[in-house]
Structure 1
Amino acid sequence: MTTASEPALSVRQILALERVLAGEPEVVAGAGQLDRPVRWVHVAEAADVGVMLSGGEMVLTTGVLLAGDREAQAEYIRSLHRAEASAVVLGLGRAFPAPPEVMRRAAERCGLPMVVLHRPFPFAELTEEVQSRLVRRKFAAVSLSEAVRTALTGLITAGAPLQRLLDEIAGHSACPVVVTNLAHRVLATAGERSAVDDVLRDWERIARQAGGREGDGWVRAELGGRGERWGRIVLCGYRGDTATGRLLADRAAEALVLHRMLGGSAHSWEEQSAQSLLTDLVSGAVPARHLLPRARAAGLPVNRRTFVPLAVRGVGAAQLARVLRLLGLPGLVAELADGVTAVLLSLARDQDAEALAAHFATRLRAEPGGGAPREQESAVVVAAADARTGWDDVPAGLREARHVADSVAESPADLDLPVVVRLRDVHLRGLVRLLRDDPHVQSFAERELDGLLCGADAEAELLPVLRTYLATGRNKSRTAQLHHVSRPALYRRLESIEARLGVDLDDFEQAASIHIALLAHDAQQR
């Protein structure tokens, strides 16, 4: 019997060969089955030919031993059907000058393609043509299979990430490649971006179809091991023959299973998928509307939703994802750079976004192992942007939440902050941080602080004192306490600072100017 991994030609493809067309072929039965694969071509005149077949053969005959015996003709067709032959080709001539009606009716009942040749045709030429093509296709398929296996194994050995493997698979298959979990949620994709977006745009419907059957170039292979399935890989719209696509999908599945077993990444594929999506949203390199199909295919509800962008410090992505699951809040979690983890909540329009964000932050701090110890709870920062009702506004919201989290990180450790920090809570420090790269702000900071920045000793000893003094609202007792010095020693240092900068720190406007310059300097340094 023909297997899915054996390269084959279809009955339709063989009938389109130039040599076959010279015989003026006519399909007289089973016209709806012409896409059956043909594994081999077999010339046979014996009435009991079925016992000699193993499935997938196109049988060529003149019917010389069947002429005049209607029962033998019908049984001949039935035996081919039982043997799972692909088709029967009858050469018209002395035995049958016209298509035999008994054979035609039997073939139609069995769904077996029956073709008659109206002109004399040397069967040897057809067998030679088809067999050579089948051998070449099989050799090409085996070569491709080994080339793919070698390339993927090399990438795995080199420690390549999942995306690099998928890019290699997409290069060989020349079509979009999608990896999903068992719930059809997209974990990773590869291929030409516009083609991938077309697939993801209607992924829910496509996934249902691809999950149940293959056809029209949709080839899938299961991912799993030790008797457990955990995902699948789908070649979407593969334009080659199904057998070769099957080989490609199988080689790809083997590689992905091996990659996962060897721990190709510290993060799960689900985490990598969320990280890629949220990183693209934050960076703004890809327009948000182009990322919407990816978000929907990843399982994030996006229709008529309220999106709450969060940026968290002090807690890892795995712990955040666990809290989301416990609270039943749909969302994506991904670790970004510099110790920040982005969270994008997707809420129903009638839900209270601020209350749920606060509840999430409170539960996060209360989770065993999910937050810092009680004496270090201030190290856990949950920053939020205002809720967004439009998907196009999400990237700006994520950047705002991250900006707030970074501003808090640059704030004094004893700063009293709400459980969810927003832009309005970081005040001047947040504004200065937004403007830190402006050349005018940089020049201002250097000019105002020049007297302290020109000497390494002054910068090391006096700058920290100035920073604490201004951050505490010019509280000398608190500054002396925090720096473990006496009040007279602090006064001497403040006098030195004023002399170097040429300012009077008791003057509100001059102190404010120095404070802004110091905030800008610190933001630039970080």
Structure 2
Amino acid sequence: MTTTWEPALSVRQVLTLERVLAGEPEVVAGAGQLDRLVRWVHVAEAADVGVMLSGGEMVLTTGVLLAGDESAQAEYIRSLHRAEAAAVVLGLGRAFPAAPEVMRRAAERCGLPMVVLHRPFPFAELTEEVQSRLVRRKFAAVSLSESVRTALTGLITAGAPLQRLLDEVAQHSACPVVVTNLAHRVLATAGERPAVDDVLRDWERISRQAGGSEGDGWIRAELGGRGERWGQIVLCGHRGDTATGRLLADRAAEALVLHRMLGGNSACTWEEQSAQSLLTDLVSGVVPARQLLPRARAAGLPVNRRTFVPLVVRDGDPAQLDRVLRMLGLPGIVAELADSATAVLLSLARDQDATVLAANFATRLRSEAPGTIVAAADPRAGWDDVPAGLREARHVAEAVADALDLPAVVRLRDVHLRGLVRLLRDDPHVQSFAERELDGLLGDPQEDLLAVLRTYLATGRNKSRTAQLHHVSRPALYRRLEAIQARLGVDLDDFEQAASVHIALLAHDAQQG
């Protein structure tokens, strides 16, 4: 990717220079065009100066060759306009003691800024001042470009994630940075959180309308390669000059394309990372849900007047879950959490049956992947309740990881005692209780009596079912149960003693993950 960045000062900036102010400048025409960029300063008295220009010059003249010829004066201004000069500065003196009306009117019609200097002023001083500033800006631009490129390349070489690169870009640009796909869906952001949230709050509208003008500080650079576009990076509200913003955006785009190529990433992967970041923040509760709402909306999740269904799937493939959502036409986002758990947040219309649609999703998923467990919290009518719902669904998924005969969608009411024990698993008293109750079986490598005990209690002390599941005869099972009772010193036919052992076993399993 090549950069056409050139350093420049605006006409307005030139007129505020101390040396220029000494000449008492007055803008007599084209006052609405003072933000034009000055690429160079050119001193010329020739009437046909326009043919010598290449665009962007501020032309300084005394007009000595134009005095007395109004047609030449008008043509002089028109030639500067055709050459796309930035402005014309006329030093008043013997040739023109006041601003010539013909030149003023012509400049106003062309929209060319025309400035007169009321005090004698050495043009060489203005030229020296502006040229030196432009040269310094050019070297500063080269330095900035290399600094940004070096920093980003170093991060890529070190294997830094996408977010770290964007944080670096945001630090250099001092404004929110947003990466989107071609549908304007936000894939990643960086910058000060309040400023980013302000940008995302109405992203769909401003990204397509107000965000289209670089004059508003919205600088875009396309992401892609080999003739294929797959996204863009946007500097939102960059307060520096446009040229610097373009440089930063171009350098950032180069780095992101390189990051994708070297890391084997794709735009889809970035979308997954965006969903994972959002759902992880929701589950953790570290960031208030209200602050995450702009990110959810910008990521394409419908949030207005919706019913949210928090789901957590154990042993499910995120890509498969996402495919099932699309197949069923269910709006939602999917993100992999820890411990083989994947969060799914459905966003349904208020008139849709959340229970039925969640069951349809679970049934379709389990038909493709029979070993998955789909846990759900009750539907949430408000966004602020979503974090608690996701945590509840995760708790349910953990509590039923090894339970038998589960419904298609498992809810809190289905986990009973197992769920309570899971919540209390880190309590030292519970840990001590489990160790004490199961001491005779723990750490025994000879026989898998603990597994038999687990099945026996999970089936409601059904000996036939336990024998069947362990592929042993009933007499063999009886011998194992007798060994278990002897080691634990309990009578499993006694309900209270069996319940105590069952609770201890649930706590042990919860502690072991």
TM-score greater than 0.5 by the shorter chain: yes
* Secondary structure at the counterpart of residue 144 of structure 2: helix
C-alpha offsets along residues 108-137 of structure 1, whole Å, 9 cap, x if unaligned? 000000000000000000000000000110
Q: Take 1:133 and 1:66, find their aligned partners in 2: how far apart are those partners?
A: 31
Deviation at 1:207, TM superposition (A): 0.8
Greater mean alpha carbon deviation, residues 90-99 or residues 313-322 = 313-322
Tell me which residue corresponds to 2:510: 523
Residue pairs, 1:321-340, within 5 angstroms: 321-340=322-341
Q: Take 2:56 and 2:139, find their aligned partners in 1: how far apart are those partners?
A: 19
Tell me which residue corresponds to 1:492: 479
* Secondary structure at the counterpart of residue 294 of structure 1: helix
Q: Take 2:498 and 2:97, find their aligned partners in 1: how far apart are those partners?
A: 111
* Secondary structure at the counterpart of residue 59 of structure 1: strand
Deviation at 1:273, TM superposition (A): 0.5
Tell me which residue corresponds to 2:313: 312
Q: Take 1:513 and 1:73, find their aligned partners in 2: how far apart are those partners?
A: 105
Greater mean alpha carbon deviation, residues 437-446 or residues 39-48 = 437-446
Residue pairs, 1:309-388, within 5 angstroms: 309-366=310-367, 371-372=368-369, 377=370, 379-388=371-380
Letter in 2 for 1:128: E
Q: Take 1:57 and 1:345, find their aligned partners in 2: how far apart are those partners?
A: 58
* Secondary structure at the counterpart of residue 268 of structure 1: helix
Q: Take 1:387 and 1:492, find their aligned partners in 2: how far apart are those partners?
A: 48
Tell me which residue corresponds to 1:409: 401
C-alpha offsets along residues 397-451 of structure 1, whole Å, 9 cap, x if unaligned? 111112222222232xxx2222222122222222211221222322222222233
Residue pairs, 1:268-279, within 5 angstroms: 268-279=269-280
Tell me which residue corresponds to 1:446: 435
C-alpha offsets along residues 138-165 of structure 1, whole Å, 9 cap, x if unaligned? 1101111111112212222232211111
Q: Take 1:361 and 1:462, find their aligned partners in 2: how far apart are those partners?
A: 34
Deviation at 1:288, TM superposition (A): 0.8
* Secondary structure at the counterpart of residue 215 of structure 1: helix
Deviation at 1:265, TM superposition (A): 4.0
Pairing 1:433–2:422 present:
yes
Instruction: Choose the corresponding residue for 1:505, options 479, 492, 495.
Output: 492
Q: Take 2:43 and 2:23, find their aligned partners in 1: how far apart are those partners?
A: 16
Q: Take 1:162 and 1:284, find their aligned partners in 2: how far apart are those partners?
A: 23
Tell me which residue corresponds to 2:251: 251
Contact 1:410 1:523 in 2 (8 A): no
Greater mean alpha carbon deviation, residues 36-45 or residues 469-478 = 469-478
Residue pairs, 1:158-237, within 5 angstroms: 158-237=158-237
Q: Take 2:215 and 2:331, find their aligned partners in 1: how far apart are those partners?
A: 33
Pairing 1:470–2:471 present:
no
Q: Take 2:400 and 2:428, find their aligned partners in 1: how far apart are those partners?
A: 23
Pairing 1:422–2:423 present:
no
What TM-score do the two structures reach when normalised by structure 2?
Answer: 0.96
* Secondary structure at the counterpart of residue 208 of structure 1: coil
Residue pairs, 1:24-35, within 5 angstroms: 24-35=24-35
Q: Take 2:269 and 2:487, find their aligned partners in 1: how far apart are those partners?
A: 55
* Secondary structure at the counterpart of residue 325 of structure 2: helix
Residue pairs, 1:65-80, within 5 angstroms: 65-80=65-80
* Secondary structure at the counterpart of residue 54 of structure 1: coil
Tell me which residue corresponds to 1:8: 8
Deviation at 1:173, TM superposition (A): 1.1
Greater mean alpha carbon deviation, residues 206-215 or residues 67-76 = 206-215
Greater mean alpha carbon deviation, residues 248-257 or residues 39-48 = 248-257
Cα RMSD of the aligned pairs, angstroms, is 1.7
Contact 2:310 2:393 in 1 (8 A): yes
Residue pairs, 1:130-141, within 5 angstroms: 130-141=130-141
C-alpha offsets along residues 465-510 of structure 1, whole Å, 9 cap, x if unaligned? 2212212222223333433444444333323322332221111111
Contact 2:219 2:234 in 1 (8 A): yes
C-alpha offsets along residues 300-333 of structure 1, whole Å, 9 cap, x if unaligned? 1111110011112333222222222222221111
C-alpha offsets along residues 264-291 of structure 1, whole Å, 9 cap, x if unaligned? 5476111110011001111111111111
Q: Take 1:484 and 1:327, find their aligned partners in 2: how far apart are those partners?
A: 40
The number of equivalent residue pairs is: 510
Contact 1:161 1:264 in 2 (8 A): no
Letter in 1 for 2:390: L
* Secondary structure at the counterpart of residue 448 of structure 2: helix
Deviation at 1:348, TM superposition (A): 0.8
Tell me which residue corresponds to 2:287: 286
Greater mean alpha carbon deviation, residues 124-133 or residues 282-291 = 282-291
Contact 1:156 1:264 in 2 (8 A): no
Letter in 2 for 1:150: T
Contact 2:214 2:242 in 1 (8 A): no
* Secondary structure at the counterpart of residue 124 of structure 1: helix
Percent identity at matched positions? 88
* Secondary structure at the counterpart of residue 275 of structure 1: helix
* Secondary structure at the counterpart of residue 89 of structure 2: strand
Tell me which residue corresponds to 1:389: 381
Aligned in 2, Cα 1:322/1:484: closer, same or farther, shift over 3 Å? closer
* Secondary structure at the counterpart of residue 432 of structure 2: helix
Q: Take 2:27 and 2:338, find their aligned partners in 1: how far apart are those partners?
A: 65
Contact 1:210 1:220 in 2 (8 A): no
C-alpha offsets along residues 32-83 of structure 1, whole Å, 9 cap, x if unaligned? 0000000000001000000000000000000000000000000000000000
Deviation at 1:515, TM superposition (A): 0.4
* Secondary structure at the counterpart of residue 450 of structure 1: coil
What TM-score do the two structures reach when normalised by structure 1?
Answer: 0.93
Q: Take 1:151 and 1:410, find their aligned partners in 2: how far apart are those partners?
A: 48
Aligned in 2, Cα 1:323/1:494: closer, same or farther, shift over 3 Å? closer
Tell me which residue corresponds to 2:104: 104
Q: Take 1:274 and 1:103, find their aligned partners in 2: how far apart are those partners?
A: 61
Q: Take 2:230 and 2:438, find their aligned partners in 1: how far apart are those partners?
A: 59
Letter in 1 for 2:509: D
* Secondary structure at the counterpart of residue 409 of structure 2: coil
C-alpha offsets along residues 329-356 of structure 1, whole Å, 9 cap, x if unaligned? 2111111112111111111111110111
Q: Take 1:156 and 1:380, find their aligned partners in 2: how far apart are those partners?
A: 36
* Secondary structure at the counterpart of residue 315 of structure 1: coil
